[in-house]
């Protein structure tokens, strides 16, 4: 299976973002990609205070386009994520569309980006509510597809659960900050790949989205041995790599760390001291 990670520099201009996503998704499919992953908040990204104004319904223009282009191109499309207005709350939602254009799974980002980094304070929970469900989907050819978003990458327990549930490919639509991309992004992606013996397809945002709000790019595809198969340059572009599922099965057979787990010996502490 060939996978592609699409790297965008999204802005508050929705028409501009949609045109860029359409152009690069089509180019990735023309390059042979059967699975295409878009970045986090690709339909609109800017000052975090504007997040409520970027919200769309699941049947809004961004996801209508995503379903239509997945069907036209005959691809599995993980349509990054977007802010959805779900009536009672807004969520950071990622949708997987199958080659028939129908949604196969919806994942609402579990971990809220409430941090101070690079001189900026981010409080995602001020505008969106966390999801509560771990979501495993499946590609058209039956590969387990674990859905995650951005800050989730720092929570290895989520990825381990996905692997135990049957994930072979982990997708990470992201808008990782410039500072954390440079110092943490590759290390975290490779760690999740090695720990869970999964392919990781990580599509990051790139460049400045609003004054002082920058993402670091370096969209990446990593194999289950932790080898980086592709890394995007600093531009709006895409990268592709072939995912050798037979090689993955061999890794899991010869170094069976998933099979050697001993869950009966693990117990979560009652309190976290941080």
Active site residues: 40, 109, 150
CA quadruple 59, 63, 69, 71: dihedral, nearest 10: -50
**Separation of alpha carbons 198 and 194, rounded Å:** 7
**Separation of alpha carbons 38 and 95, rounded Å:** 10
| Rg, Å, the chain Cα set | 17
Question: Angle 135-140-145 (CA atoms, 0-180°, nearest 5)?
Answer: 30
Helix (H, G, I), strand (E, B) or coil at 233: coil
Would you say 171 and 37 are in contact if contact means Cβ atoms under 8 Å apart? yes
Burial bucket for residue 267 (CB in 10 Å: 0-12, 13-18, 19+)? exposed
DSSP β-bridge partners for residue 107:
94
**How many C-beta atoms lie closer than 10 Å to residue 218's C-beta?**
21
Q: Is the dihedral of CA 145, 148, 150, 152 positive or negative?
A: negative
Task: Give the H or E element holding residue 25.
Answer: helix 14-30
* CB burial string 77-100: b at 16+ within 10 A, e below: bbbbbbbbbeeeebbbbbbbbbbe
């Amino acid at each position: 299976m060939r996978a592609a990670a699409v790297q965008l520099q999204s802005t508050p201009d929705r028409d501009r973002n949609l045109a860029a996503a359409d152009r690069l998704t089509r180019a990735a499919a023309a390059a042979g990609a059967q699975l295409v992953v878009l970045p986090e908040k690709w339909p609109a990204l800017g000052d975090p205070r504007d997040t409520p104004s970027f919200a769309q319904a699941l049947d809004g223009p961004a996801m209508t386009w995503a379903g239509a282009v997945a069907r036209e191109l005959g691809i599995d499309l993980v349509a990054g994520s977007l802010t959805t207005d779900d009536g009672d709350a807004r969520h950071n939602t990622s949708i997987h569309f199958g080659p028939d254009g129908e949604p196969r799974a919806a994942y609402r980002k579990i971990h809220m980006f409430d941090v101070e980094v690079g001189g900026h304070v981010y409080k995602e929970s001020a505008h969106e509510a966390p999801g509560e469900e771990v979501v495993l989907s499946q590609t058209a050819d039956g590969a387990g597809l674990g859905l995650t978003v951005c800050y989730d990458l720092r929570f290895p327990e989520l990825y381990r659960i996905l692997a135990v549930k049957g994930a072979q490919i982990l997708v990470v639509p992201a808008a990782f900050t410039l500072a954390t991309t440079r110092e943490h992004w590759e290390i975290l992606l490779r760690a999740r790949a090695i720990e869970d013996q999964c392919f990781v397809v990580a599509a990051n945002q790139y460049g400045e989205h609003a004054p002082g709000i920058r993402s670091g790019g370096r969209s990446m595809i990593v194999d289950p041995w932790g080898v980086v198969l592709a890394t995007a340059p600093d531009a709006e572009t895409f990268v592709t790599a072939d995912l050798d599922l037979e090689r993955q099965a061999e890794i899991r057979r010869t170094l069976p760390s998933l099979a050697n787990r001993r869950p009966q010996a693990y117990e979560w502490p009652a309190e976290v001291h941080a």
